[in-house]
């Protein structure tokens, strides 16, 4: 962003935020339902500029073009420097999702090779088993009382899936989940977080680095079939991940993947429970759960915004963008673009057509998307088969803006 730096902003300064963003992220109405607000912004055009110079993109076609365009990336990384790691020798390691080519290309190739389809496909039976265990345990404990689907399924399932994929020992698993949640909460820019949230994020990240480094050392001498073993040994063109890169990469996969999957399950189940005719359709077409999850991803995406920096002069929907300008792609708005989706405010599980942007697009497309989709499919398939009813139609939301999710989702099982 040319006219102001996010990293120089006073934390939680309402005046700054009002000048930076085209909406109030702390407005209860926005937290409850941002889509009418996005629609009002989109009426001004697919791209608008805020007083502090941020370009807000609401159109699906324009967002897709920016995500594919190599003229947009991270530049010096100043806006996401809080997520970098400074090593003991003073060097800085960026998570690869916040890097530009060739650094991003090198690490992405190594991670993608280790995160092969075979690693994810073999997890399907595991996901289905874990969901069954979670539901059975929760129902036995709750009896006739209400069940919080976030605590019962949406939170523990992604954690257990990721721990299984990475080969995390049972004695570490609960702590890994806690650390992943603290880091995920801190994915918002620091100026939107309280000092306590920033401290918890940074402490959790440092602790997780230590755990992963310890596991990586074990896998070097005693490799298994887990992802950490693959990342330790993977090689592409003579390149391998350094120990610091491996720790940063695994921490990123755990925190971002955890948050995305938790919120995909929670947002998707809330939408499904609010649309009983769609739940009936899914029960009649259980083999279409993959398409159903894609529509849930579009309808209320867990990742609401993706940031980019202009690396060169470029044009966005007729607007000239200069090098260094900050561009915010409002994925939530693009997912409800009336130019692309017919009746976008309606959940329609058999919707056909344009690919949604819930996991990004282009070279930075989410490497963990296959695991997130598989995990969500297992959860939705099992939960949609139960007779559930909402205890409240307006469950509490977590006050994040990058990630959109629920603090709770209380339901009753109707016998």
Residue 87, SS3 per DSSP? coil
What's the average model confidence in pLDDT over 54-68?
A: 96
Nearest to 127 by CA among 377, 387, 384: 377
What are the helix (H) ranges across 274-368? Answer: 276-284, 289-299, 331-334
Task: State both tokens at 45.
Answer: 């055009």
CB 140 within 8 Å of CB 152: no
Residue 368, SS3 per DSSP? coil
The pLDDT of residue 236: 66
Q: Give the whole-number percent of the chain exceeding pLDDT 70.
A: 95
The pLDDT of residue 117: 62
CB 60 within 8 Å of CB 335: yes
Distance from CA of residue 87 to its chain's centroid? 26
More confident residue, 79 or 382: 382
Position 171 pLDDT exceeds 90: no
Residue 240, SS3 per DSSP? coil
Note the pLDDT tens digit of each residue in 229-249: 988 988 666 778 899 999 998
Note the pLDDT tens digit of each residue in 375-395: 999 999 999 999 999 999 999
Pairing of strands 92-93, 47-49: unpaired
Cis ω before 78 (30° cut-off from 0)? no
Q: Name the helix (H) or strand (E) containing 320.
A: strand 319-321
The pLDDT of residue 142: 85
Can you tell me the distance from the alpha carbon of 327 to that of 43, in angstroms, rounded to the nearest whole number?
A: 18
The pLDDT of residue 9: 39
Note the pLDDT tens digit of each residue in 131-161: 999 999 999 988 888 999 999 999 999 999 9
What's the average model confidence in pLDDT over 195-199?
A: 90
DSSP 367: T
pLDDT-based confidence at residue 1 (cuts at 50, 70, 90): very low
Of 20-24, 54-58, 374-378, the least confident: 20-24
List phi, psi (to 5°) of 145: -80, 175
Query: Average pLDDT over the chain, rounded to whole?
Result: 90
Q: Name the helix (H) or strand (E) containing 389.
A: strand 388-390
The pLDDT of residue 4: 40
DSSP 45-76: -SEEE-TTSPEEE--HHHHHHHHH-TTEE-TT
More confident residue, 265 or 27: 265
Highest mean pLDDT among 94-98, 164-168, 217-221, 408-412: 408-412
pLDDT-based confidence at residue 405 (cuts at 50, 70, 90): very high
Which domains are seen in the chain, by residue range? 45-83+94-413 (1.10.630.10)
């Amino acid at each position: 962003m040319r006219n102001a730096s996010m990293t120089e902003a006073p934390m939680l300064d309402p005046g700054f935020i009002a000048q930076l963003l085209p909406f109030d992220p702390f407005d209860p109405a926005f937290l409850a339902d941002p889509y009418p607000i996005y629609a009002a912004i989109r009426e001004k055009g697919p791209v608008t500029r805020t007083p502090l110079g941020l370009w807000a993109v609401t159109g699906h076609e324009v967002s897709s073009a920016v995500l594919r365009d190599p003229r947009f990336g991270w530049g010096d990384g100043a806006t996401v420097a809080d997520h970098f790691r400074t090593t003991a020798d003073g060097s800085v390691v960026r998570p690869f999702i916040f890097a530009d080519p060739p650094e991003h290309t090198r690490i992405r190739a190594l991670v993608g090779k280790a995160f092969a389809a075979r690693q994810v496909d073999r997890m399907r039976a595991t996901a289905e088993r874990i969901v069954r265990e979670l539901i059975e345990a929760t129902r036995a404990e709750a009896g006739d009382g209400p069940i919080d689907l976030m605590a019962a399924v949406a939170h523990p399932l992604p954690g257990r899936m990721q721990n299984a994929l990475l080969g995390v020992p049972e004695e570490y698993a609960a702590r890994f989940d806690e650390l992943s949640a603290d880091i995920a909460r801190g994915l918002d820019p620091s100026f939107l977080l309280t000092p306590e949230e920033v401290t918890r994020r940074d402490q959790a990240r440092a602790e997780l680095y230590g755990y992963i480094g310890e596991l990586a050392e074990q896998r070097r001498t005693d490799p298994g079939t887990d992802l950490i073993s693959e990342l330790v040994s993977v090689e592409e063109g003579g390149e391998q991940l350094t120990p610091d890169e491996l720790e940063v990469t695994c921490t990123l996969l755990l925190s971002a993947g955890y948050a995305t999957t938790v919120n995909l399950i929670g947002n998707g189940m809330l939408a499904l429970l609010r649309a009983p005719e769609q739940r009936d359709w899914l029960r009649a077409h259980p083999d279409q759960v993959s398409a159903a999850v894609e529509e849930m991803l579009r309808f209320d995406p867990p990742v609401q915004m993706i940031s980019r920096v202009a690396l060169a002069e470029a044009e966005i929907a007729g607007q000239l963008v200069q090098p260094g300008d900050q561009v915010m792609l409002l994925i939530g708005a693009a997912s409800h673009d009336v130019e692309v989706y017919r009746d976008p405010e309606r959940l329609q599980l058999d919707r056909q057509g344009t690919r949604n942007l819930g996991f990004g697009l282009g070279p930075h497309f989410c490497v963990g998307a296959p695991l997130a989709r598989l995990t969500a499919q297992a959860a939705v398939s099992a939960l949609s088969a139960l007779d559930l009813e909402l205890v409240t139609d307006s469950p509490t939301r977590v006050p994040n803006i990058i990630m959109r999710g629920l603090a709770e989702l209380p339901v009753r099982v109707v016998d």
